[in-house]
A and B are shown apart, each in its own frame.
Chain A
Amino acid sequence: DTGVSQNPRHKITKRGQNVTFRCDPISEHNRLYWYRQTLGQGPEFLTYFQNEAQLEKSRLLSDRFSAERPKGSFSTLEIQRTEQGDSAMYLCASSFSKDTQYFGPGTRLTVL
């Protein structure tokens, strides 16, 4: 399967813990996006990488959230001191042009 992959698929954590998610984009794609999606809503943009550079972050993104893309390949999204409101599906997408993007299966986070 050469699509976007995300790990883990599910994560259950206790409030206050740190969690880290990984995204492996389609290999030739230099653009990588992170989104958050809650029930009944569309994906909400979090951040964008072009190669290893983080070029855009949502102004809604709390400073508890940090993302990296070392060497322009896979990316990680870390949430520190998780809160119950962080419970959501975290989606990664990649592309080689700005007219579309391809999504991974998502990581479902539950904060107890």
Chain B
Amino acid sequence: QKEVEQDPGPLSVPEGAIVSLNCTYSNSAFQYFMWYRQYSRKGPELLMYTYSSGNKEDGRFTAQVDKSSKYISLFIRDSQPSDSATYLCAMNQNTGNQFYFGTGTSLTVIP
């Protein structure tokens, strides 16, 4: 079993839709959670990071962490064609230095 599971999609939505991206994990020691956006043939770009359970909002993006269910989500409101990319979740634990990534979800926002 992989440390982090993420549905690869692809996910296709119309412009303006609310997008929900999700990851599950197996290691209860994970404490830091991140979401990255990656355009084709580019390096990942940090979108949001959070430490605790609950919600964190930044503009059109909301990150949600449920440690009891080992489940994290990224919501994108009012999605735009420029949001078309692969979204990666990542996480690590307090006692280690290795970050664990999901496989990424490919998102296309159709104008």
Partner-B contacts on A (CB < 8 A): 4, 6, 31, 33, 40-45, 48, 50, 55-56, 58, 89, 91, 98-106, 108
Contacts and interface: CB of A to CB of B under 8 A. Distances in A.
A105 B6 CA distance: 23
Interface of B: 4, 6, 8, 32, 34, 36, 41-46, 49, 51, 88, 90, 92, 94, 96-104
Contacts of B94: 98
Contact of B102 (A6, A42, A102, A103): A42
Contacts, number: 66
Contact of A103 (B45, B51, B97): B45
A105 B43 contact: yes
7 contacts: A40-B8, A43-B99, A98-B97, A100-B46, A101-B34, A101-B46, A103-B36
Given A100-B49, A103-B36, A106-B42, 19 more contacts: A31-B97, A40-B104, A41-B104, A42-B88, A43-B44, A43-B101, A45-B99, A50-B97, A55-B97, A89-B41, A91-B43, A98-B32, A99-B32, A99-B49, A100-B32, A100-B34, A103-B44, A103-B46, A106-B43
